[in-house]
Structure 1
């Protein structure tokens, strides 16, 4: 397994919506949101491409809009977000898959809510298409521990690498004394 680098990696955030985030009880909501924000700010600060997608945002009583912090941090990516209309596997939405391909990167750092429904299939689909995928587990979550465990197992068995926010940021930074380290260090402390 090769190490991801800033130059060859894109960040893909799936369905971090104000409603769906609350379904992810396996990761405390404040921690999940913090880690999504860390990934977004790190990507922005280091110039990494970001793809955002949501599912049925207009269903405000259930799923709702993407986290407002994402609009504040990544206004261009937010404006270009792929608003899926119910397609469960985001990779099956051509606009989303094409946006990911258009980053020109072979490595994807992915996170999504919920892990077992929104994250498993896009991660495996991207991997099957030849992309290298790391899923940031603490920026994801499921409705129960069994669903979360099964999602992790399924992804790992397919060849998806599982990681945490701190671990993937450190892997990308390589050196805390670098410009990327100057972006990352305040986000992680």
Structure 2
């Protein structure tokens, strides 16, 4: 009979146990994305970027053929990271780019969370490669998109079959916080939720405005 303890499961992410890799959130890639609306995709990209920045998660920003074809990374991401340099590639598979791999090794985290465009190419490639080399891979499914729902869903299935763990954008933020008693990030987390957390964010705003209420009893 196992003994329960008040400790989180090892598969739950924390701000210090992973890096975030944001891949090809660029205009040319977004134009052909049909599995998620551009508005929701941009919202979710902003949500996870602000979450990572708030919790000081090491983050790699990478583009493909930025100047010659695909265009700049979404402003929502660029603004969150305050002008952090982009690692531009020629390879569709981020994992085959030496500069990206150098940065992954420099950061030195065994767990990697991925998000970007397109799911079936630019996310499957590095997820499969990372798993093959012994990394623990996660992907934020609603911050990824593809040229069709079919393409996105088959890519998600493939990554799960390989052992990657799917997440959602709001889940990513709340899993980083995980305890409302963590007052040092409480205001930032609820602020991000209110702006980019959809209906949940509206609920936080409503409760605070109407009743002075808040998560965990904080005023």
Return the offset for 1:82.
1.0
Contact persistence 1:82–1:96 (CA under 8 A): yes
Count of matched residue pairs = 184
TM-aligned CA distance change 1:180 to 1:23, over 3 Å: farther
Separation in structure 2 between the aligned mates of residue 183 and residue 104 of structure 1, nearest angstrom: 26
Q: 1:15 aligns with which of 9, 24, 28?
A: 24
Contact persistence 1:41–1:73 (CA under 8 A): yes
The aligned counterpart of 1:143 is 147
The aligned counterpart of 1:186 is 191
Contact persistence 1:113–1:140 (CA under 8 A): yes
The aligned counterpart of 2:61 is 52
Asked whether 1:122 is paired with 2:162, we answer no
1:30-179 alignment, distance < 5 Å = 30-60=39-69, 63-77=70-84, 79=85, 81-85=86-90, 87-178=91-182, 179=184
TM-aligned CA distance change 1:159 to 1:69, over 3 Å: same
Separation in structure 2 between the aligned mates of residue 144 and residue 23 of structure 1, nearest angstrom: 9
Gaps of 5+ in 2: 1-9, 194-200, 202-219
> 2:115 is paired with a residue of what secondary structure?
strand
After the TM superposition, list the runs of 4 or more consecutive aligned residues in structure 1 that deviate by more than 3 angstroms: none
Return the offset for 1:153.
1.0
Of stretches 94-103 and 31-40 in structure 1, the one that deviates more from structure 2 is: 94-103
> 1:167 is paired with a residue of what secondary structure?
helix
**Residues 11-57 of structure 1: per-residue CA shift (max 9 Å, x gap):** 11000012212222101111111111111111111111110100001
Separation in structure 2 between the aligned mates of residue 124 and residue 181 of structure 1, nearest angstrom: 35
> 1:143 is paired with a residue of what secondary structure?
coil
Separation in structure 2 between the aligned mates of residue 169 and residue 75 of structure 1, nearest angstrom: 19
Separation in structure 2 between the aligned mates of residue 126 and residue 180 of structure 1, nearest angstrom: 30
Separation in structure 2 between the aligned mates of residue 33 and residue 58 of structure 1, nearest angstrom: 21
Select the structure of larger CA radius of gyration. Answer: 2
Gaps of 5+ in 1: none
Return the offset for 1:76.
4.8
RMSD: 1.5
Return the offset for 1:71.
2.3
